[in-house]
Chain A
Amino acid sequence: MSSRSRVLPLVSFALVTVALAIQPISSQSPRFYPDDPIGRDDDMALDASKVVPIEDSNGYDFVANTFANPGVRHDIRAQNVNTVDEVPDSSWFVNRIGHRPMSTAEIVRGPDRLESISLDGWKVSGGKSSGLQAGFRMTDPAGQIYQIEFDPPSNPEMATGAEMIGTAFYHAFGYHTVEVYIAELDPSKLEIADNARINDPLIGERRRLTRRDVEDVFRRSARLPNGRYRVLASRFAEGAPLGNFRYYGTRPDDPNDIVAHEDRRELRGARVFGAWLNHDDSRGVNSLDMLQTEGARRYVKHYMFDFGSIMGSGTVYAQRHRAGNEYIVEWAPGWLTLATLGLYTRDWMHIEYPRVPQSVGRFEANSFDPAKWRPEYPNPAFENMRADDAFWAARIVAKFSEADIRAVVEKARYSDPRATEYIVETLVERRKRVLDTWLTGISPLVDFALSRDGQLTFANAAVEASVATAAGSYRLKWSRFDNATGPAGAAVEATSLEPRAVAPAELLAGSQFVQVEIASLHPQHTTWATPVTVQFRRQADGWALVGVTRLK
């Protein structure tokens, strides 16, 4: 990290802190604006056409994140949540299954515009520019470019299946992803475009792509019994490529990018999704920024991509034992191993993986501890994840039914039904552990509503997900709320045995805002006693939820 990039986030954080500190004194800025809570953050409004690409290399991303601690590590609330603790739609994220019902078919379809594709009439138009996976580029008859990737011979269907599953899930979570399709490629029908070029590492230049190059790719790929190749076709995203985003800092040349990435909730919460799906490759270089043009607007759109290394797939080999369990470099266990001449062993070395089809790779749930899950190396946003970020993401995970999960896995079209069955079972079990860990780690009260006549109702997301029993009782603390200064006047305390209560009439009378702090008392979940703070605003037809704070 340069001193500049280290200093900038610190300065930003200091400014935010100062702003917070001066807020009550200025009393000019209301806690809630009339349009709160916003559902959309228009971070595509200003012209970003001067943004330049940032292309991090694998080596730099590893070194910077492993040894240089980029970004700011701190225990503060995510900086891009709205006043009800949710993530507004933006160029980063679009609320999908977290906010609205999605049919199984819609989840499975993901970002894809087409039901399926056939590669007949397509031409090889270039070599693959990066990545370990064997492949090349093809262009369809309409001129659209796709990246074509193959499975390794040792693990047929593994990497392509992982890509299909990962893309569908990440799209449903709410991230921008590119369209992906599974298709069969007949090598005897393959045509190479006259202008197809490839980077030749032997000469360090681009040259014409030949049949020999294509055969090299085939040689490194799993072949189907019918002589064809199963491939993954990824549609190139629209716009001009800008390289990758980073899980820390902001782009200094993008006026729309005002929240440090390590403090974006959808990036912090990606740790939960990564743990569920074992996306150990959750790192900056597996992201994509595109300069999009919409009418006169040019803005940066942020994509998650490259899911070839999720679940049991290591893309070109079965996932390593360490993957998901330990960073590539984790000092303490390494020193312990050295000091004891190898007698000290890491827990992950003892995991026994069942015998499963090779298309599964190395994936299991029995030893999975979501809180201990690790990507390949430290991710600043993941490191900043707090219980409220994790809860937000876990709620999204909870939305997937077993039928949804099965349907997504079936999209991978594994030829061996045992592979489908095993992955479904494993994902279901891992989902349960994710919810056990992160849906119960903080007060899971949700869906707050205050009726016109003062009836407060709420639900419990952990109970709804069947990972906890309801709290034995609830302690409520009602108060008026001044939109400039916060809670005002004497508080009224009450207790309820049910997830409902009646607001004190005297507090509601004449109030524009009312606040209630709700502590849930549960013998097994003591953290639930930390109250959720909720604010309602009076509207013509009753009360509208305007504020939710789970963790200060």
Chain B
Amino acid sequence: MGLLLAGPALAAAQDAAPATREEVLAQTRREKQTSLTPYRSNALERGMRLAEEHAIPILGRDGFYWKGGSLTTGSGFTYAGGWRNRRLFDRQGAVDFWAGRSLKGYWKVEGRFDVGDPVNGRLVAGAYANHYSYPEEWFFGLGPDSSRDNATSFHLTNTIVGGRAGVRPTRMLTVGGGVEYSTPEVGPGHNRRLPPIDERFDESVAPGLFRSLNFVRTNAFFEFDYREPRNARQGGWYRMVASRYDESTDTHSFSRFDADLRQYASILAERRVLALRLAASTSTPANDGRIPFYLMPTLGGHDSLRGFHDYRFRGPHAILAQAEYRFEVWSGLDAALFYDAGKVATERNDLNFKNLETDYGFGFRFNTDNGTILRIDAGFGSGEGKHLYIVFGDVF
């Protein structure tokens, strides 16, 4: 029998024997009434409430804020603080000023102003200025034959001021362009485990080394995005950028074209995804000038050749092909097997699929519908050691 019979029997034993079921229940309730206690939340509940109602919302708030992550590949974990206001012009404009420093001593300050959405969300524009100091950038030499044994470090500082604008004629398509002025400078690196760049390389093999150069970069881009959902399981994302770097003395001016094509296909209720990426970059010096080595594309690291060290390969031309097989373990956690192949080239004619550097590995992605929050990848097979990457955000 249920409590309506059994439970009240206890109360009945302690109180005057009730004559009806209704009395049994009433007695039990009166009994409870004498020992009511206020509801007290437990530690887990209090902790989660604190996180959900206070800590997490603060991360997204206007005014002073802090954030973590990385400044650039290899910068190490960065802590940053800033001030922002995204409520300008009835929430169609935003300003954001922040400064961050990494555990390796990289630092950056930036100010941004963005306006968006004035015409049904189809137009975006913005201006920005930043200054950064990256003291431990890696350089192994140029071209596909660079040696890991030649690892050096350099210190890159730069100041950039620019603006950009784009229009979205359709939900999937964005076209636009921008212009920016930059003043990069390269000096000896501060990595204590590596010799500074000038101990092994000079300007003949590291163009732009120790020169103060000023660039005006103009670019135009085209982007077509039909991924579904944003944490892609179907569809594709294609981006092409044509840039021109005009250096003030015209000795290091060049143009560059980058293409990044990503395609996603899935089966089994989108819980098994094949993700493919083909990226290429090619540069052409102007007036027989030289392209600064620090503005050349690089391969190696968490977002390209994952079996290799960050910035392992550098050259004026680069090609990268990546394939990932992703499978959902639980909602919000995918595992992945990957294979990367790519190379840099000093001549455009060598930009082909011959003699590619390759690696493979596996990883995990903690994700939401809007993208990957945290990624862990372990890369092998390069012949240059094993590499473990723990990264905020997806690889592609």
Write the residues of chain A forming the contact surface with B, with a CB cutoff of 8 angstroms: 1-2, 4-5, 15-16, 18-20, 22-23, 26, 28-29, 31, 33-36, 38, 41-43, 45-46, 50, 52, 54, 56-60, 63-64, 68, 77-83, 88, 201-204, 210, 212, 219, 251-259, 263, 321-322, 328-330, 334, 337-338, 341-342, 345-346, 348-351, 549
Contact = CB atoms under 8 A, between A and B. Distances in A.
Nearest to A353: B269
A541 B4 CA distance: 27
A58 B13 CA distance: 42
B3 A259 contact: yes
Nearest to B117: A219
B205 interface: no
A82 B17 CA distance: 19
A36 B21 contact: yes
Nearest to B36: A253
Contacts of B39: 52, 54, 251-253
A34 B19 contact: yes
A509 B95 CA distance: 92
A334 B49 contact: no
Given A16-B6, A36-B21, A255-B29, 9 more contacts: A4-B42, A19-B7, A26-B9, A29-B8, A33-B18, A58-B52, A79-B4, A204-B57, A338-B329
B2 A59 contact: no
28 contacts: A2-B42, A2-B43, A4-B42, A15-B7, A16-B3, A19-B6, A20-B1, A20-B9, A29-B12, A33-B18, A35-B22, A59-B52, A60-B48, A68-B44, A79-B6, A201-B60, A204-B57, A252-B38, A253-B38, A253-B39, A258-B25, A259-B3, A321-B270, A341-B327, A341-B335, A345-B268, A345-B271, A349-B272
Top 3 A-B pairs, shortest CB-CB distance: A342-B327, A2-B42, A79-B3
B348 interface: no
Contact of B268 (A42, A59, A350): A350
Nearest to B23: A33
A16 B9 CA distance: 9
B2 A78 contact: yes
A42 B45 contact: no
Interface residues of B, number: 67
B42 A348 contact: no
Q: Is the interface of B mostly helix, strand, loop or mixed?
A: mixed
A113 B117 CA distance: 42
Nearest to B10: A19
Contact of A28 (B5, B12, B26, B327): B12
B1 A83 contact: yes
Contacts of B325: 342
B112 interface: no
Interface SS of chain A: loop
B37 interface: yes
- In this complex, which of B8, B9, B121, B271 has the most chain A Cβ atoms within 10 angstroms of its Cβ? B9
Interface string B321-353: 000010111111101010000000000000000
A349 B61 contact: no
Interface centre among A22, A31, A258, A348 (most CB of B within 10 A): A258
B7 A16 contact: yes
Contacts of A256: 29
Interface stretch (B84-92, B129-137, B254-262): B84-92
A201 B60 CA distance: 7
B53 interface: yes
Contacts of B30: 46, 255
Contact of B48 (A33, A52, A59, A346): A59
B178 to A, nearest CB: 26
A212 B90 contact: yes
Contacts of B172: none
Contacts of B9: 19-20, 22-23, 26, 29
B327 A77 contact: no
Contact of B4 (A83, A345, A348, A349): A83
Contact of A334 (B5, B329, B337): B329
Contacts of B26: 42, 45
A346 B25 CA distance: 47
Contacts of A254: 36
Given A15-B10, A54-B39, A337-B328, A31 B24 contact: no
A300 B330 CA distance: 38
B367 to A, nearest CB: 13
A337 B272 CA distance: 11
A114 B215 CA distance: 70
Nearest to B84: A202
A470 to B, nearest CB: 29
Contacts of A33: 18-21, 24
A203 B62 contact: yes
A4 to B, nearest CB: 7
B81 interface: no
Nearest to A20: B6
A29 B4 contact: no
